[in-house]
């Protein structure tokens, strides 16, 4: 059984079902990516895992714990950090203040907060250079680094990343993804939501493709990269014939 297991999860907004019974598992130490077009239900799925939304039915297990009945703050304490879509850093606080907010669960242990901050700065030296800068004045890429860094401050076992490449120049996307791989090497399991299927399939071991709330395809990234359906719909390869 995976570290994180979703079974027949249904999630609705009012009476509109956005996620229609998905099964998804993430094993300890893996990078797994969840791909899909706009509105497929990717963000909704992450929000249900981190307790920001309640599924209508189905189960979300983290080890032997049932996340679907837990409040969001408890899920963070258990070791799941969610880096939301659109970064959502606090613009009027400094870089360091934003990071400290991510360490809420260590709030009574300032030495621990410092250790976690040093770890984040080692991964993102640019954040250390800008630690007293207001987050609202950072570039888009730096804000993404800060959002990831803030998620790491809780020393998570699992990091949920929602579209870290959104709106970033290709060079910066490469840089962010190199760091995501490094975070994974340091032992953090990652569930990565992405629209950039090309890069996501490069870094993830396995992938799920979500189409209007259902898993349409899943498997090893290397197999999905060769799948003509993935090539046509997500990799922009016309006349796909199954080449990688």
Ligand X SMILES: Nc1ncnc2c1ncn2[C@@H]1O[C@H](COP(=O)(O)OP(=O)(O)OP(=O)(O)O)[C@@H](O)[C@H]1O
Q: Which does 51 bind (CB under 5 to 8 A by kind): Mg ion, ligand X, none?
A: none
Identified binder of ligand X from the candidate list 15, 38, 108, 244, rule CB under 6 A: 38
66 SS3 class: strand
Q: Which does 76 bind (CB under 5 to 8 A by kind): Mg ion, ligand X, none?
A: none
Per CB under 5 A, 43 contacts Mg ion: yes
Per CB under 6 A, 218 contacts ligand X: no
- Alpha carbon 219 to chain centroid, angstroms: 18
Per CB under 5 A, 50 contacts Mg ion: no
6 SS3 class: strand
Per CB under 6 A, 184 contacts ligand X: no
Q: Which does 175 bind (CB under 5 to 8 A by kind): Mg ion, ligand X, none?
A: none
Identified binder of ligand X from the candidate list 5, 41, 197, 225, rule CB under 6 A: 41
CA distance 230 to 194: 14
Q: Which of 5, 149, 131 is nearest to 68 (CA)?
A: 5
Nearer to ligand X, 99 or 160 (CB): 160
73-112 residues in contact with ligand X (CB under 6 A) are 85
Integer CA distances (angstroms), 117 to 87, 141, 169, 178, 198, in order: 18, 19, 26, 19, 31
Identified binder of ligand X from the candidate list 2, 195, 202, 214, rule CB under 6 A: 195
Residues 70-109, mask of contacts with Mg ion (x by CB under 5 A)? ---------------x------------------------
Per CB under 6 A, 51 contacts ligand X: no
Per CB under 5 A, 218 contacts Mg ion: no
Please report which residue ranges of the chain form alpha helices under DSSP H: 42-49, 72-78, 95-102, 110-123, 125-129, 140-152, 170-185, 197-203, 221-225, 228-234
Q: Where do contacts with ligand X occur on this chain (CB under 6 A)?
A: 13, 18, 36, 38-44, 85, 195
């Amino acid at each position: 059984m995976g570290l994180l297991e979703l079974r027949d999860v249904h999630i609705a907004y009012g009476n509109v079902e956005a996620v229609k019974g998905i099964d998804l598992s993430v094993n300890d130490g893996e990078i797994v990516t969840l791909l899909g077009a706009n509105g497929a239900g990717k963000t909704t799925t992450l929000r249900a895992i981190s307790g920001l939304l309640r599924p209508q039915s189905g189960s979300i297990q983290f080890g032997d714990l049932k996340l679907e009945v837990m409040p969001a703050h408890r899920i963070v304490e258990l070791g799941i950090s969610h880096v939301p879509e659109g970064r959502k850093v606090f613009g009027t606080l400094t870089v360091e203040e934003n990071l400290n907010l991510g360490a809420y669960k260590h709030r009574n242990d300032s030495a621990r907060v410092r250790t976690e901050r040093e770890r984040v700065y080692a991964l993102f030296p640019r954040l250390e250079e800008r630690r007293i800068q207001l987050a609202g004045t950072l570039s888009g890429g730096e804000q993404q680094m800060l959002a990831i860094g803030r998620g790491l401050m809780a020393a998570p076992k699992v990091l949920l990343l929602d579209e870290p490449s959104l709106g970033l120049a290709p060079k910066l996307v490469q840089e962010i993804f190199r760091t995501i791989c490094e975070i994974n090497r340091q032992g953090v399991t990652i569930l990565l939501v992405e629209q950039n299927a090309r890069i996501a399939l490069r870094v993830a071991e396995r992938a799920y493709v979500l189409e209007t709330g259902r898993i349409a395809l899943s498997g090893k990234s290397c197999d999905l990269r060769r799948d003509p359906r993935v090539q046509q719909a997500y990799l922009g390869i016309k006349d796909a014939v199954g080449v990688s």
